[in-house]
Structure 1
Amino acid sequence: MTIRLLVVDDDPLVRAGLTLMLGGDESLRIVGEGSDGREVPDLVARLAPDVVLMDLRMPHIDGLTATERLRARPGAPEVIVLTTFHADEQVLRALRAGAAGFVLKDTPPAEIVAAVRKVAAGEPVLSPAVTRQLMRHVAGRPETRHRRTAAAERLAGLTEREREVALAVGRGASNAEIAARLYMSVPTVKTHVSRLLARLGLDNRVQIALLVHDAGLLDQDPDGATGE
């Protein structure tokens, strides 16, 4: 199935470059372009993209605000944030708002295509190493300590098995890796992940991973990390 892609960036050269680089891939169809976050609701309503490539820094309504508003709507497309920084507080906020990952603007085209495919298939594009880098970026702040307490409280109501699955998601494990580690079938893992999303009121696996990181659970279990 062809993935419908919307590109939103205030720089026309960036939009043209992405359209040129990605338009030749048969698995993608670029259905439209936007230059500011305020255009996103109308473009999404008219063009029905599966994935939005969203620049963070735009003049009127920035990509963070546009992502927060978009992901709050039912049936919203997936969002991949476009940025020039590896560790950026706005990136972290966009991920908390429901973005499925981020790519740097100088990422090779093949890697951007791979990221779009993964996100369209419901998979995150954020490695455990990148997640830890983002978390370290804001570590030690008062709001971070408050967030840790709140995250721990949210996770306290999980069953032991749900907690194990959440930890594995936080380490960046795939469904197949979780199934092998916890001796269950892949469909059972998918069921557990769906239940976690529903119980915790989250949109995707990235948010589960961030919640686990917020709670400091991986700090308590450093030996459980999977390959990065």
Structure 2
Amino acid sequence: MKFLFSLTNFFIGCCLASHAAVISDRFEKEDFIFKRSKCDYCGYELSLLDEIPIISHLLLKGKCRYCHSPIPIKLLIIEIIGGLAYINISFNQKSGIADAILIFSLLLVAICDYEEMEFNLAMLVPAIYLALITEINRFPSYRIADYIEFVPILILLTYYVLNKKLGSGDLFIYLILAFYFKPQFADLTFLSASIFLIIHFLLEYKDNFKGKEVAFIPYIFIGLTLQLLIH
């Protein structure tokens, strides 16, 4: 039963991640709600069978059914990570629905940050709202330990933002995670993200990584996914 629950959630997460990729590509450009998806190369509208997350990619061997152009592997990776992020979400509870909305908002931002190194702040509005509502209700129960886990990291991130070594979006997301979950959860997420980023740099830029710029939010989302799986 647990396996079926996880498998169903994984597939739901893959579908949501696939739609997030569509939104990030069409945001402020064209309709991403009613307009059908199409191949970026030949422009042919895709059928429902062509849009089944992961499965369609594997059956089509990573190529468009119509023009046989390669489907970007990043889409498959986005679907897999999105599926993993939703595995433990309880969609039959209000708290689970709130979790799902917040995760989707952050995933959308992560995809945009990866593609453009920036994102529209409107994408974070649902996550900001949920975080503020949660924080208002939780604040009276904060312990000294929570402040110890929160304040030093907040000061450090603010310092890096002011010195333009970190984007303000990263700070926003830290606050969202700290308010919605807990400061410790946010700290562990950012620690995991930093480790994944270091590994990536060592593997890809081991000879010369000085001055390289990289989108950090995708790594934050991967760190968030890891924490959601552990917790």
What is the TM-score when the length of structure 2 is the normalising length? 0.31
Higher relative contact order at CA 8 Å, sep ≥6: structure 1 or structure 2? Answer: 2
Q: Between Structure 1 and Structure 2, which shows a larger proportion of strand residues? A: 1
Structure number with greater Rg is 2
